[in-house]
A and B are shown apart, each in its own frame.
Chain A
Amino acid sequence: MWFIGSVIVLAVGVLLYVPYSLRSVDGVSGGSGPGLAYGILGFAMMIFAGLLGARKRVRIWRLGRATWWMRGHLWVGFLSFPFILFHGGFQLGNGALSRALMILFLIVFVSGVLGAVLQHFLPKMMTERIPMETIYDQIDHVENQLVVEAAQLVADASAMVEQAIEQQEEAEEKAPFAAAGKKNAVAMPDERVSAKIKAFFETQIKPYLTSRRSQKYSLTNPVQAAAAFRQLKLLVPDTVWPKFDDLESICGEKRELERQRYMHKWLHGWLLFHVPASYALILLGAVHAFVALRY
């Protein structure tokens, strides 16, 4: 419905503009009759598009579905661009205010289109790349929970390593020759391994999980993270490996949460330009209309 309506309005606008521009002796002007009409229409479209913000404030008022308003915002906002161009005669304008308005309008339009594109493609990307997505406001809380889980896993792994050491020592006391042969065949943990695991947690895992700028940590890179955990696994009996697998999963989850933060910022960050610029545009547009008509 919006598509058809927009195409019709645009077609009518173009059909009316072409003869007008061809017949203009001194060129197209925003102050001429048709120019004013295009300007008023274009500004009305901007105001309508701006009403989406107001509509979102009164979410449960039965003023039409939010989907309808969003589509209206996109189509009518898109349509305002050619109409303003028609109003300005495809020029920046003579005065400083006109130029500023045009630039502001371009910023709003481009940021809006960018936003629409981002909001079309990014959700699907997030769905595919962040299977363990959580609510954005809960990311900090989830990360804190990951730290607690990781600490528990490290404690369990250390305890298992220390137990393995004790069992090894007992076996050596009972049957030194057999134990020695076994020791040579398989790398058994010594007292330093437990300390190494704890140090790895304190210097790598915990800072990585708690950091907001995690790019500086090697665990950010999945290949490097896998290599690091493989190295750790070599030092311990295979009974401890599931704990490291879980730690690796936790690091993987942290990567996803970081990715979610990043993509969420792109998904919504453009609004930081678009919304204030839109308010400024409408305000300045009103000033421009007042000044132009009055003076």
Chain B
Amino acid sequence: MSENFSETFIQTKEIHFTLDGKDVFVQRAIKDPVPTIFEAAQKWGVTIPTLCHQQNEKPVGVCRVCVVDVAGQRVFPASCVRPLEEGMKIQTASEGVKAARKTLIELLMADHPSPCARQKLSSDCELECLAKEAGIKQTPFAPRATPRGHDDSSLSIAVDHEACILCDRCIRGCNEIRHNFVLARRGKGYQAGISFDENLPMATSSCVSCGECMVSCPTGALTNKKVIDQNLGEGDAVKVADMQKLDIFKNVSGTFLNLNSNAVRKRTYKAGEIICKEGDFGSTAFYILDGNADVYLSSPMTHINTKGKKGFSSKLKTVLETTNRTKGSKEVRKVSIPIDGPVDLAYDNPIAHLKAGELFGEMTCMNYYPRSATVRAETDTTVYEMLRNVLDILRRNKAFKARTDQTYRKRALGSHLRGIPIFSTVTPDFISDLRDRIELRQYAPGQLICRQGDPAHSFFLVRIGFVKVTETHPGGELVLAYIGRGGYFGEMSLLGGGVRTANCIALDNVEVVRIRMEDFSLMLDSFPEVRRGLEAVAAERAAENRRHFTQIQTVPVDSFLAQGLMEAQSLLVLDLNKCTRCDQCVQACADAHGGTSRLIRDGLRLDHYLVATSCRQCKDPLCMVGCPVGAIRRRNSLEITIEDWCIGCGLCANNCPYGNINMQPFDVQTIDPAQPNRKVAEVKFKATACNLCPDHDEPNCVYACPHDAAHRVNPREFFAEFAKDSKGLFS
């Protein structure tokens, strides 16, 4: 060893050793750590095969493939961790080393699903390449008996534990390079494996989808998932370098972005151009790079009305008429309309503005719901349009998440909270104070948000997606509600003793705003009207739930089980032995709803009863799932209501298994884009369904039947008395 002084006065040392019979040396700065045998060999152009070692990661020496023969040593040391010493005599490819390496590779190949996903995709699985170089065609060792499984939960990375060789490169990539600390080892012996957080599925863990683990993995254990129709086609291709300049893509692996580059397109819109239209189905989200956009509802905010000649020949012409609020309505109109964007629309002025750095279309992209609003470029605007896998990367990115959180707190939290009638009296000052204390949380489809019986610590507002609320009883599970954007849950348990009264499960990709119990209690104490309103709603819901519970315990009648009638809470039943087919019920329904009947006097027959095609107020209202603007909702008891901001996408009508929701067409005069001074009629649609005429004790169809043939019944009670006698003519 000799010490030298370089021109920059860094003290260096030389280490002399023998490498494969040649006398060589390496120079190192005194302050630097001693190089390993692997590094030293590399400097002299000798490649020692390895699996667990990667240049940018701290070596750990777990695979032992990089072993070398050092004269005078008891065992073959791992070259990636063994420091070089003066005078070492090293053989990198002696017969003994080759035999040891071959055995190690054969052992690893015994459990490896050859060819693995990476080998199939790009023929560069490092283990299988090593096996090929070593001339290993078949391993003499038996594979493991217990499978290790797969994890397909992530949108962008496929996890195959069967192909994992426990090299820990992914763990070191996640922790040392990206500092995300998601990955770790779990278990021992045959139970050993890689896990995300506390052995959670990758999608539900805190993984940010940076892709570093996938890039680090030497085998097909972590591979990039190709999304179907990943190629967005038209539009300008996006360079990875340009994407990485944006904050939102910082800390995302460049390789990973490159693999997904076909899932992003840059698009430019001139001022006035439509970017997306409400009601259209889609699978992409938009991120505004520069420019401004308007977001609004182009569907008229009204119910439809059908007017025409009455009498024997009637010609139907559908026109618009402003709805009149009937007397006795207990519901207060919402002040804001929830949409799939960073803001809500005010009911009395449904237009908002988006600017650079904002994202819209998340719900459409993640859950394939229809577009909730029309977005038009206010100025010349450039956007990134992206598919789900790229959006997933964005949503998990900490920088982006922090920015969207901030935007939501500033722009939408207030209108979201105060848009709920019960909370309309909460002051802006309180909301400003609350802003920094709320938490935005994401849940994957099927993930449990809160469990019945658990202690309650929070109140939730739904920002994106749908939450299914169910109650578990000895007789079965009862779906209480589907809550979409603009809705809330968790208040009943906070009011009533601190124990969750229902299970809340994410039906799709859900994001909620979590308000802690302390802040919720402070809100109730500061605003007594809010407390009163919530207590009234809670009492009504509790009474309704008790009634539902009683219904569950009633023995069902076999005759109607198969037709889905068990799901109904209210059926319109016509006694065909009394019904003279006069259609007074249909006419009355039309009269009560601006000329459009919401019932069809045809449907399932049971003995002499006809179950008319009219909303059944199902226990599990599938129609409510997916409404992009929250227009279809349930009041606190039974009836399903469709609000007048329905955009006519038809999703509820498609979802209803019984065909009880109809899309009514109406004409709207719009400006012809080809000839601006000319108007053309455009056909739009609105959804209609029976709402049980909530302003009266009895629905109009039942009230108007002259022969006492029409009845709205609870199916269980009604069919339990199936054999009642028909009455006489003049009774």
A66 at the binding interface (Cβ < 8 Å): yes
Interface string of A43-67 (1 = CB under 8 A from B): 0000000001000100110100111
A268→B584 CA distance, assembly (Å): 13
Stretch at the interface among A126-134, A145-153, A219-227, A286-294: A126-134
A138→B707 CA distance, assembly (Å): 23
A75 touches B580 (CB 8 A): no
A230 at the binding interface (Cβ < 8 Å): no
CB distance from B611 to the nearest CB of A (A): 14
Interface string of A105-147 (1 = CB under 8 A from B): 0000000000011011011101100010011101000000000
Which residues of B are found within 8 Å of A213, using beta-carbon distances?
none
B731 touches A59 (CB 8 A): no
B731 touches A3 (CB 8 A): yes
A126→B581 CA distance, assembly (Å): 10
B591 at the binding interface (Cβ < 8 Å): yes
A69 at the binding interface (Cβ < 8 Å): yes
A69→B706 CA distance, assembly (Å): 7
Which residues 672-731 in B have Cβ within 8 Å of A in the complex?
696, 698, 700, 703-708, 726, 729-731
A59 and B581 in contact, given A66-B705, A134-B602 (Cβ under 8 angstroms): no
A67 and B707 in contact, given A123-B578, A124-B608 (Cβ under 8 angstroms): yes
Q: Looking at the complex, which one of A65, A74, A135 makes contact with B730 (CB distance below 8 Å)?
A: A74
CB distance from A265 to the nearest CB of B (A): 11
Q: B-contacting residues of A (Cβ < 8 Å)? A: 2-3, 52, 56, 59-60, 62, 65-67, 69-71, 74-75, 116-117, 119-120, 122-124, 126-127, 131, 134-136, 138, 264, 267-268
Which residues of A are found within 8 Å of B578, using beta-carbon distances?
123
Q: Looking at the complex, which one of B588, B601, B698, B707 makes contact with A70 (CB distance below 8 Å)?
A: B707
A31→B726 CA distance, assembly (Å): 45
Which residues of B are found within 8 Å of A136, using beta-carbon distances?
581
CB distance from B631 to the nearest CB of A (A): 25
A267 and B730 in contact, given A59-B587, A59-B588, A127-B608 (Cβ under 8 angstroms): no
A127 and B576 in contact, given A2-B730, A65-B703 (Cβ under 8 angstroms): yes
A78→B577 CA distance, assembly (Å): 23
In chain A, what residue has the closest Cβ to B726? A124
CB distance from A9 to the nearest CB of B (A): 14
- Between A and B, 8 residue pairs with Cβ closer than 8 Å are A3-B731, A56-B704, A69-B706, A123-B579, A124-B726, A127-B608, A131-B605, A268-B581
A-B contact sample (15 more), CB < 8 A, given A119-B707, A120-B729, A127-B577: A3-B730, A59-B587, A59-B588, A60-B703, A66-B584, A66-B704, A66-B706, A70-B706, A122-B580, A123-B578, A124-B608, A134-B602, A135-B602, A267-B580, A268-B581
Number of interface residues of B (CB under 8 A): 30
Which residues of B are found within 8 Å of A124, using beta-carbon distances?
576-577, 608, 726
A60 touches B591 (CB 8 A): yes
B592 at the binding interface (Cβ < 8 Å): yes
CB distance from B214 to the nearest CB of A (A): 54
A71 touches B730 (CB 8 A): yes
A126 touches B576 (CB 8 A): yes
Interface string of B522-547 (1 = CB under 8 A from A): 00000000000000000000000000
A67 and B729 in contact, given A119-B580, A123-B580, A124-B577 (Cβ under 8 angstroms): no
In chain A, what residue has the closest Cβ to B582? A268
Which residues of B are found within 8 Å of A119, using beta-carbon distances?
580, 707
A123 and B706 in contact, given A2-B730, A71-B730, A267-B581 (Cβ under 8 angstroms): no
CB distance from A60 to the nearest CB of B (A): 5
Which residues of B are found within 8 Å of A268, using beta-carbon distances?
580-582
Which residues of B are found within 8 Å of A123, using beta-carbon distances?
576-581
A74→B707 CA distance, assembly (Å): 12
A115→B578 CA distance, assembly (Å): 14
Which residues of B are found within 8 Å of A3, using beta-carbon distances?
730-731
A78→B708 CA distance, assembly (Å): 20
Interface-centre pick from A56, A60, A119, A267 (highest chain B CB count, 10 A): A60
Q: Which 4 pairs show the lowest CB-CB distances between chains A and B?
A: A70-B706, A59-B588, A59-B704, A127-B576
B707 touches A60 (CB 8 A): no
Which residues of A are found within 8 Å of B577, using beta-carbon distances?
123-124, 127
Which residues of A are found within 8 Å of B576, using beta-carbon distances?
123-124, 126-127
Interface-centre pick from B581, B600, B608, B707 (highest chain A CB count, 10 A): B581
Which residues of A are found within 8 Å of B605, using beta-carbon distances?
131
B601 touches A62 (CB 8 A): no
A116→B728 CA distance, assembly (Å): 11
Which residues of A are found within 8 Å of B696, using beta-carbon distances?
62
In chain A, what residue has the closest Cβ to B704? A59
Which residues of A are found within 8 Å of B731, using beta-carbon distances?
3
A59 touches B591 (CB 8 A): yes
In chain B, what residue has the closest Cβ to A64? B703
Q: Looking at the complex, which one of B698, B704, B706, B730 makes contact with A75 (CB distance below 8 Å)?
A: B730
Which residues of B are found within 8 Å of A62, using beta-carbon distances?
696, 703
CB distance from B154 to the nearest CB of A (A): 48
Which residues of B are found within 8 Å of A71, using beta-carbon distances?
730
B730 touches A67 (CB 8 A): no
CB distance from B310 to the nearest CB of A (A): 9
Which residues of B are found within 8 Å of A267, using beta-carbon distances?
580-581
A59 touches B584 (CB 8 A): yes
Interface-centre pick from B592, B703, B708 (highest chain A CB count, 10 A): B703
CB distance from A118 to the nearest CB of B (A): 9
Which residues of B are found within 8 Å of A66, using beta-carbon distances?
584, 703-706
Which residues of B are found within 8 Å of A74, using beta-carbon distances?
729-730
A52→B696 CA distance, assembly (Å): 22
A250→B578 CA distance, assembly (Å): 28
A67 and B708 in contact, given A3-B730, A59-B591, A134-B602 (Cβ under 8 angstroms): yes
A264→B582 CA distance, assembly (Å): 10
Which residues of B are found within 8 Å of A264, using beta-carbon distances?
581
CB distance from B7 to the nearest CB of A (A): 95
A66→B705 CA distance, assembly (Å): 6
A56→B576 CA distance, assembly (Å): 20
CB distance from B232 to the nearest CB of A (A): 42
Which residues of B are found within 8 Å of A60, using beta-carbon distances?
588, 591-592, 700, 703-704
Which residues of B are found within 8 Å of A56, using beta-carbon distances?
584, 704, 706
A59 touches B580 (CB 8 A): no
A264→B588 CA distance, assembly (Å): 21
Which residues of A are found within 8 Å of B582, using beta-carbon distances?
268
Q: Looking at the complex, which one of A2, A59, A70 makes contact with B700 (CB distance below 8 Å)?
A: A59
CB distance from B724 to the nearest CB of A (A): 15
CB distance from A12 to the nearest CB of B (A): 19
Which residues of B are found within 8 Å of A131, using beta-carbon distances?
605
Which residues of A are found within 8 Å of B730, using beta-carbon distances?
2-3, 71, 74-75
A62→B584 CA distance, assembly (Å): 15
Which residues of B are found within 8 Å of A59, using beta-carbon distances?
584, 587-588, 591, 700, 703-704
A134→B602 CA distance, assembly (Å): 7
Which residues of A are found within 8 Å of B729, using beta-carbon distances?
74, 116-117, 120
In chain B, what residue has the closest Cβ to A124? B577
A3→B727 CA distance, assembly (Å): 14
A138→B581 CA distance, assembly (Å): 13
CB distance from B305 to the nearest CB of A (A): 15
CB distance from B729 to the nearest CB of A (A): 5
Interface-centre pick from A69, A119, A122 (highest chain B CB count, 10 A): A119
Which residues of B are found within 8 Å of A67, using beta-carbon distances?
705-708
Which residues of B are found within 8 Å of A135, using beta-carbon distances?
600-602
Which residues of A are found within 8 Å of B608, using beta-carbon distances?
124, 127
CB distance from A219 to the nearest CB of B (A): 25
In chain A, what residue has the closest Cβ to B586? A135
Which residues of A are found within 8 Å of B601, using beta-carbon distances?
135
